[in-house]
Every structure is written in structure tokens, then in C-alpha cells.
Chains A and B, each alone.
Chain A
């Protein structure tokens, strides 16, 4: 392995009330993939933002190839050879792939934009990424994976020596992840240093050479990926024993428990074929399937976010008529949506206001909660869910992902629902928070709540669910008993269609 290209030493960074980084060291060698791990709030993003000039660190030094640097802005960092690809794709959806790759640095010819070069170069770059597409089509024509490749292509083409990938895989499916890893290996071979931030530990072992773990703004240690096992790694990350996580037990089921939610023949042509399901009191129904298999659409129909064009939903035996979220909330249903930023948090409002939002909506604005009442509600849930925030007045947008998710969970728990739908509640949050949310779900089930739990991670569904519905190609493919279900069974069902197709060919 060749020499160190990036070295960060003794980085300190404080935000009002929090020491986000406390003397953190980090080094990156050329030609390696270096995973940066830690729970939410551990300081990963802050460290990256110090490196890319988004934040100005309070103390510490950064050396790039031996030279001291102090970038003031992401542009400056990029100029120095440090490129970042963020989790959310930062491109312009309405421009073509080629335009996106060259925007802001278009080659000119006789005072005009040299489209020929742009398109040719883009095609080459994308081919290097292993993607052969027509780069003159708008970005939105392509899948998220291709869009991600385009943003990497853009980042790499700007003379990058250090490439930072901030949770690049969270919106990709398995094939796409595999392709991304090929690209990463290729870039690595070309001598780039890659910083890889992720929550998926399996992926870390697939691709990373070295691992740096942060916790609470401090460096825990630096390890070679092949010298540390997963259990040790997680223990380092959360600082407590892993057994807590694997000690979860499914909610016991009572014979003849009443049905809370019943849906029959629910569907929207082209989105979800007719689906029927029911959830009993105290039962956790797992929803497995690939992204786009109709899981989220089903949840949205159940809750009335989108109006089903046929079929019916009833809660506690009463039919829901209006098909609106408010109507569902009135019938004691609750829904944590998949896209936390878009459909969940109200970023600029305080933790207190966010927690009280659904209860208040239920009451109507002319019957406001008293300030003390709001305060009490917020404080209770901050304690109950151990939401990490200095106080209830902090803006939700300033909390880490896991804590935001807990705030949304609190919002719904406050309405005391009989049925709670959770769409990917553990996505993009760290191991510790994940385990906590799973524990909370199971506790709520034991308390008598019915839960629909949608997740892409099969192991957590298998760990928690009493019953599992597998979705495939916009319809219910199978319903399994959660007690003796193996990951392989579910995978076989999900993969079924593809094999059939293959056979047909």
C-alpha cells in the first residue's frame, strides 16, 4: 500500500452546547477504501465537513500530500482534489447526464459551449463507471444508481485525489451496490483514496481496507478490516455490549386476539394490485420486498396518503370512508413514512412542536394544547425514547437521523394509536438507534398495539415479525409465519419472478 495522502490531526470542533469533535485524528492512504464508522452524532459528517470546508474547525491541522491545507469552502476543497458525493443526489434532474457532469466547468470553443467534447467525455466517463448510456438524455430518465454514478463521475473527473462517499448505498439495491463497488475498486486501483461512510456493516467488510471508528466526537480507533470482527466493531461503535441488540424477543401472540386493521382488495391499477391483509391486536406484521415492489404504496393506501381506487380499509371493525390521513388518525392509525426528510419532520420547528403535531392536528387548531401540556408531552417522550437533544426547543432539523426518527415515532406514540405503520424506520440510522427502535416496536406490540413494519433488511424483519408478507412486482407474493422463517425462504420468494422470466427466455 502506498503512502498517506491525507492526514487530519487533532481536529476540534464545537457547536453551541456540543463538542462535536474532540482531538480526532484520521489518515487516508492512496489506493485504499477507508470506512468511517460511528453512530449518528458520532462526528462522521462533522469531520467530513471540516475537511471539505463546510465547517471551520476550531483546532487541528489537515495535510494533503504533506502540504498543510485549510479549505474555506467545498469549491476550494474540490479544487485541492477533495471531492464529495453526498447521500442525496446533488444534481439537476432536468439537465442531461452530460450537462450535469460538466456543469460549471463547460469546455468552450470559440466562445461557445463545446457540446461535442462534453458529450464525448461524459460518455467515456460513464463507461469507465461501467455504465453505457445515452448521456444526452435527462438525468431523471435513469435509475438512482445511474444518477449516483453520474455524480461520482463528476466528482472524479475534477482531478480528485480524495473521494468522499457519504452513505452512497442507502438508496441502491443489491445489484447497484455491487456495481458501485466495482467502480470503487477501479478508482482505488487508479490510486485514489476513498473515504466511505455507511451504516451497512456488511458492505464495510466487502469493500473497506481500513476502518476508523468514532464515538461521541472522539476517535475510538483505527483497524484493519480483516483483523476485526463484526461484533467487536459494533461494540466499539456503540460502546456497549452487543447482546442487548440480539436479546430481542418477539411479542407473544394471544389466541383469538381481535383484528385491528383489515384491508380487502385494496389497489390502484399500475401501482399496487389488489391486496388484502389484516393485523391483529399485539401483532407485528413484517413487510418484505424490494424497493418499488409496492410496499410503500400499500402503506400509503392504508393510511389514506394516496386514495386507493378500489377496495376498502377498516379499523377496529369500522370502515374508513374519507381516505385521508386525518381520518385514519381519528380511527387510531399512525404512519411513520419512509422518507423522513420529505414526509416526516418539520425541520424548522422545535422537538416539542414536532412531537405534539399529530395530537394537535387530531384536536384541531382551535383546541390547542396548553404550553405546559406540550412541554410535558415532549419531555416524557424525550425521556422515554432517550432522544438526544439539549432541550425540547431545539430544531428537529439539527438532530441526527436516528433522533429525528425517534421524534417522529414520539409524534405517533403520543396519539396512542391501535395500529402503527412503520415504513423503513431504521433506514439510515446507526446500529444503536436501530436496536432501540426495534425494542420499542416490540414493547408497543406487547402493550397491545398492532404494527406493520416495512423494511429492506430481512434480518430485522425476521427478528421482530410474527407474520411476514412478501411483496413482489406490486402484489402480495406470499404470507409467511414469522416464527420459523429463514432469510433464504424470503429471498427465494422475492427472486422467484426473475427465475421464471429467465426460464421463459
Chain B
């Protein structure tokens, strides 16, 4: 009975089906090309040894979305959304590159130095993105503007600000420490994966070891009751948006380091939707309330797996988006309430038919 019950809850959880979906997609990849799951160690020209293979690539490339989606999970659990994250990625990259290449007024060869101290390159973009998060949070928590409208402001303005910062120019750099963020590796593991791991771990600890997570859920489920119980919901909401801003900044640094350039028009394009999707695929409901950060990580990996799969099999580029959407639709159907319930019920029935003691 006890074990049967546990299985029942697992079968009904969205996270479980997200994991199932991920394995199914990987399986499809493996069937079509058995080397899809291979991981090997390669030695680069400079002698460093790096893990190599599609699974590593998936993890590596999912970093930007995973990091942002950590914040997005909290925002969504509070019943909001933040659609400015993609623009903040562009802002972050623009500021970083501006500090690296303050000397360049025209397109020139990439320099292997930084004009400003490297600390500035790292810290200022994060500070600016955090402040932008604060701006979002203030609009939502204090001025009670609907989250989608409040964050729409920076979604539109952010890319403009990025353009202003860089005078509308695109810089490139060869400055090694900066390149290292998105392209380096430690002990063979690509740095973005390590950064993501640290961010996820820090967020999980912050959310579950303090009572912040419980307050987020309480406010997301019942704001009135939370207020009467003495929770200052404005502060809780504010923190979620500020964190999302900061995390978008980190994500922006990784992205701009990967392409060793800034790109106000394309950096972080569509990230808001991917981040929201990651949260939802992970099992957190758009209506707010209970959330799971680990689920969001799985969601983000699913999205990247699909993208990789699509690229891997050389589907014509025009069809990529449609194909991606098709798989995502499949995952969502698998996770939907009626389907989950039907599967759980089927199991239950079989249980009875087999003479299982449901009432025992």
C-alpha cells in the first residue's frame, strides 16, 4: 500500500514526466545515431584535456537558459513573468565589451587586452542588470503593474540601452580571461557548466535553507493570507526580480564570452520564452505556487536537447523552429493533467485486476 501510494504520486508529478521525456528524446537520438551519447576526452592544441560529446555540449549550451530560468522559476512561482531577461543578456554583453574595448571607435582587429580593469568587466554588467531587476521588481511589487507589462518596458528599452552603450557598434575581443568564461574549462569540464552548477546549487541552498522558498510559495498561492500572516510580499517579489536581473547578467557574460563579442540585436534573443518554457516543462505552474528549481534545470536541458537533436540531424534550417515546436508540444501533452491521470489510473486498474489490495 505504502509503496503503491508513492508510485502514484511519482506518476502524477510533472517532473517525473519531464525526465521521461528527456530520456525519450535522448533515446531517439541514440537510435538514429548511436554515437549521439558518446563522451570522449580530447586534447586541445594547447595541451588541455576537455570532455567532448553531445551530452556535454547539451549541458554546456543550456547554461545561459538554465541560469536565467533559476530566477524565472521564482518569478513564475509568485504568479508573474519577466520578459526582459533576453534584453538584459544583451545589455550585460554590451557593457562588458565596452569596458574591454573602450579604445575602439571603428571595427578593428580583436585586441588581446582589456582597456578597463577586468573586475569592471565582470562586476559592472552584473550591477547594472541587478539594478534593472530592481526596476522591474519596483514596478511589479510597489506600483502593482502587471508583470508582463512592467517587464515589457525593459524588454524593449534594454536592447536600445545596449545600442547606446556601444554606440551601435559590435566589438570583438581576444582577451584571454574574458574568453575563458564561455570557452574555458577546468578539469576538462567546460566553465559554463561549472558556473551553472554553482548558480543552481547557490539558488537551491538560498531557497530551501532559508524560508525564502516557502514564502515565495505562500505568496504565490495566497497573497492575502500571506500578508495577514505577516509576510512582506513586496520584499519577497522584489528579491525574485532582482535575482532574475542578476542571473540574466551572468548569462549575458557567458553568452558574450562564447561569441567573444557583443550583439545588441541577437544576444539573448527569445531567451525569455525559452526560460519560461524551461520553468513550465520542469513542473512549475504558470499560475504560481509550488515550484521546483531542479525541475527547471531538467526543463532547460530538454529544450537544449531538442535544439541539438534538430541541428544534429541537419534538418533544413527553415524547418528547425517548427520541428522544435512539434517535440515541445509532445512533451507538454505527456505532462498534461489528463494524460498523467489517465496513466496513473490505468496502473491503478491493473493493480485491482491483479488482485492488488487497494483498500488494505
Residue numbers of A with Cβ under 8 A of B are 14, 16, 19, 58, 303, 305, 324-326, 329, 335, 337, 342-349, 353, 357-358, 360-363, 365-366, 368-369, 411
Contacts and interface: CB of A to CB of B under 8 A. Distances in A.
A326 B230 contact: yes
Given A345-B222, A357-B218, A14 B358 contact: yes
Interface stretch (B61-69, B124-132, B204-212): B204-212
Contact of A325 (B5, B215, B218, B230): B230
Interface string B244-266: 00000000000000000000000
Given A360-B211, A365-B210, A344 B228 contact: yes
Give the contact-size bracket for chain B: 20 to 34
A58 B227 CA distance: 41
B217 A349 contact: yes
B231 A361 contact: yes
Given A360-B214, A365-B212, A366-B210, A347 B222 contact: yes
A58 B358 CA distance: 10
B210 A346 contact: no
A343 B232 CA distance: 15
Nearest to B231: A361
Contacts of A343: 224-225, 228
Interface string B187-223: 0000000000000000000000111101101100110
Contact of B289 (A305, A348, A369): A348
Contacts of A335: 228
B224 A342 contact: yes
13 contacts: A16-B5, A326-B231, A329-B230, A343-B225, A344-B225, A344-B228, A346-B221, A348-B221, A349-B221, A357-B231, A361-B230, A365-B214, A368-B210
A258 B360 CA distance: 57
A425 B226 CA distance: 18
Contact of A365 (B5, B215, B227, B359): B215
Contact of A14 (B210, B289, B359): B359
A369 B210 CA distance: 8
A7 to B, nearest CB: 24
B210 A326 contact: no
B290 interface: yes
B317 interface: no
A346 B290 contact: no
Nearest to B358: A14
Given A305-B228, A357-B231, A361-B231, A347 B209 contact: no
B228 A348 contact: no
A362 B215 CA distance: 12
A345 B225 contact: yes
Contact of B226 (A14, A346, A347): A346
Contacts of A358: 229-230
A347 B358 contact: no
Query: Chain B interface secondary structure, helix, strand, loop or mixed?
Result: helix
A349 B229 contact: no
B228 A349 contact: no
B230 A362 contact: yes
B211 A365 contact: yes
Given A14-B358, A348-B290, A361 B229 contact: yes
Nearest to A56: B345
Closest 4 CB pairs of A and B: A361-B230, A365-B211, A326-B230, A368-B211
B214 A353 contact: yes
Contact of B211 (A344, A345, A369): A369
A471 B228 CA distance: 23
Nearest to B285: A348
A250 to B, nearest CB: 28
Contacts of A369: 211
B227 A305 contact: yes
A38 B270 CA distance: 56
Contact of A349 (B5, B209, B214): B214
Nearest to B230: A361
A346 B227 CA distance: 11
A303 B211 CA distance: 24
Given A14-B359, A326-B230, A346-B217, 4 more contacts: A326-B231, A357-B231, A365-B212, A368-B211
Contacts of B289: 348
B210 to A, nearest CB: 5
Nearest to B352: A58
Nearest to A358: B229
Contacts of A325: 227-230
Interface in B147-164: none
Nearest to B208: A368
A329 B215 CA distance: 17
A358 to B, nearest CB: 5
Contacts of A347: 221-222
Contacts of A349: 214, 217-218, 221
A148 B222 CA distance: 26
Max chain B Cβ within 10 angstroms of own Cβ: one of A324, A347, A368, A411: A368
A346 B232 CA distance: 15
Nearest to B4: A16
Contacts of B5: 16
Max chain A Cβ within 10 angstroms of own Cβ: one of B209, B212, B217, B231: B231
